[in-house]
């Protein structure tokens, strides 16, 4: 769908970003390797299965009830393969169309494969650098808000991104995770701006858009792959689209 008008009538002072799959991308993606391995086991997958699993991952990692249960159940357990990822693999296999029994049987094998064989590069799209250059030079307050458990400044340093941001925020620092209001409220405190003055950009509709909207920020969905074609919010497929409207 074409991008909606992204900007409110009011004055924007701060632009905040999600980190993973918005500014930073993995190549190849974990889901692609997961799907390929599952298919190699003789489980047929079609495009609808893949799309459903992609949307489910967005839901799951948006601090869903399921991920909270999995974290609680597996936080103190130590196995050769982390039991959290076995549980995640079982859930994802179910979404891909496996029966509960088949998913339970295959989950340890799939989790082991992913831990041993999934390797990726991390990159930042060129249009993200262009947007950040412009926003930084234009004097916007910039920040990142992530559902990661630990601070990640060193990752931004390695990618040449840290210089752009006035602050970074990991959910684990304050034990609040998107879409909960508290993490957005802390981001506003660090930015020293009101919700009405703050734009928030993220790729996960369930975590980023719902969370930002609840907290009163102006949300923009970054969705280059069309994961959420029905999204009821301003949507961009390229950061260049946002830059043209902020000029």
CATH number at residue 230: 3.40.50.1000
With respect to residue 200, please indicate whether it lies within any of the assigned structural domains.
yes
Structure confidence at residue 81 (pLDDT): 61
Range of the domain at 107: 29-117
Residue ending a domain, among 59, 88, 117, is 117
Structure confidence at residue 244 (pLDDT): 81
CB 236 within 8 A of CB 219: no
Q: Are residues 138 and 228 in the same domain?
A: yes
For residue range 162-201, list pLDDT tens digits in order.
999 999 999 999 999 999 999 999 999 999 999 999 999 9
Structure confidence at residue 4 (pLDDT): 46
For residue range 120-147, list pLDDT tens digits in order.
999 999 999 999 999 999 999 999 999 9
CA-to-CA separations, 46 to 30, 42, 50, 96, 189, in angstroms, rounded:
17, 13, 6, 9, 45
Question: Percent of the chain at pLDDT above 70?
Answer: 93
For residue 90, pLDDT over 90 is answered with yes
Q: How many CA atoms lie within 13 A of 100 on its CB side?
A: 0
Three-class secondary structure of residue 199 per DSSP? strand
Q: Are residues 219 and 98 in the same domain?
A: no
Averaged pLDDT for residues 208-231: 96
pTM: 0.92
Using DSSP, how many helices (H) and how many strands (E) does the chain show?
11, 8
Average pLDDT in the chain: 93
For residue range 13-39, list pLDDT tens digits in order.
999 999 999 999 999 999 999 999 999
CB 159: neighbour CB atoms within 10 A? Answer: 15
């Amino acid at each position: 769908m074409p991008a909606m008008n992204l900007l409110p009538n009011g004055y924007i002072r701060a632009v905040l970003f999600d980190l993973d799959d918005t500014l930073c991308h993995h190549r190849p993606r974990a889901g692609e390797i997961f799907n390929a391995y599952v298919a190699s086991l003789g489980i047929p997958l079609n495009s609808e299965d893949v799309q459903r699993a992609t949307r489910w991952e967005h839901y799951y990692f948006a601090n869903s009830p399921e991920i909270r249960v999995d974290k609680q159940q597996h936080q103190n357990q130590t196995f050769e393969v982390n039991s959290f990822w076995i549980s995640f693999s079982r859930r994802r296999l179910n979404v891909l169309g496996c029966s509960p029994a088949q998913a339970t049987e295959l989950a340890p094998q799939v989790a082991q494969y992913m831990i041993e064989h999934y390797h990726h590069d991390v990159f930042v799209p060129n249009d993200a650098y262009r947007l950040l250059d412009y926003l930084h030079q234009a004097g916007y307050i910039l920040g990142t808000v992530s559902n990661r458990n630990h601070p990640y400044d060193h990752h931004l340093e390695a990618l040449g991104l840290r210089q752009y941001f006035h602050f970074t925020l990991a959910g684990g620092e304050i034990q609040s995770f998107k879409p909960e209001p508290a993490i957005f409220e802390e981001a506003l405190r660090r930015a020293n701006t009101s919700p009405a003055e703050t734009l928030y950009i993220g790729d996960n509709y369930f975590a980023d858009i719902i969370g930002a909207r609840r907290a009163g920020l102006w949300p923009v969905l970054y969705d280059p792959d069309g994961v959420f074609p029905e999204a009821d919010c301003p949507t961009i497929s390229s950061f260049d689209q946002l830059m043209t409207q902020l000029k």
